[in-house]
Amino acid sequence: MGDQFKDKVVIVTGGSFGIGQACAEAFAREGANVVIAARGEQNGNKAVESIRKAGGEAMFVRCEVADEDQVKNLIDTTIQKYGRLDIAVNNAGHGGERKLIADVSIEDFDSIMAVNLRGTFFCMKYELIEMLKQRSGVILNMSSANGIIGTPLFTAYTASKHGVNGLTKSAALEYAKDGIRVNALLPGGVATPLFDKVYGVDGPKREAVREGHPTKREGTMEEAAGATLFLCSDRASYINGACVSMDGGLTIQ
């Protein structure tokens, strides 16, 4: 166990699996009090149990980020338990199905926007209210390489992540004077259970993803967690309003 984030209070939305869980576990290893927010109670409680078994401190709060009342409850519960909020990683997201734009239903489009864009807005809104009280804090929004390029068959997801980048930059300008930093991390392909489900573990689709990255491989969840912890740390204290690519060079080709 380390002490880089000793006694810091950290919320990770979508923290029960994938990149979110890797981030939650990494913060806990560095001494943080971690609040895992997710829709699924079973996976959320398992993630908390894993952290506690490793000697860390964590709690689970059920939260659908597209629901404003549930987001408010998440923040209120965090404050009631730990008394403050130092860091928030807004990681909850929804990818949707691979479809041409003409085949995307209004319902599918709205559901992706509700989680990825409106959900990020709700989280930022109530996180910032608390951080303003203490005049300090760090917010990291989990965006995507899709947020700076056009991506066929992922139209709604791509649009939502462009929106997340806009929220990040605007909030960073609005709250810099209050001691609050807001950045975004933009992963490319990262090997997660969800990524495996979309592209397969092996086969032509997965190989095409690997070949699309100059590194000829996907990123790992541990690499995403490492970048997250750096951007939320004091070592990144002068990084604000940045949309930081973590994609093996994908978006600069």
pLDDT in tens, 30-72: 999 999 999 999 999 999 999 999 999 999 999 999 999 999 9
pLDDT for 95-143, tens place per residue? 888 899 999 999 999 999 999 999 999 999 999 999 999 999 999 999 9
Mean pLDDT of all residues in the chain?
96
Q: Is the pLDDT of residue 1 over 80?
A: no
Q: Which of 157, 175, 199, 238 is catalytic?
A: 157
Measured at the CA of 183, the angle between CA 14 and CA 123, to 5 degrees, comes to 45
Q: How far apart are CA 30 and CA 145, in angstroms?
A: 27
Distance CA 143, CA 84 (A): 25
Is 175 catalytic? The answer is no
Residue 76 phi/psi, 5-degree rounding, is: -60, -45
Domains identified in the chain and CATH numbers: 9-243 (3.40.50.720)
pLDDT at 195 (0 to 100) = 84
Q: Which two tokens stand for residue 117?
A: 């864009």
Place of tokens 């929220």: 167
Q: The whole model's pTM is what?
A: 0.96
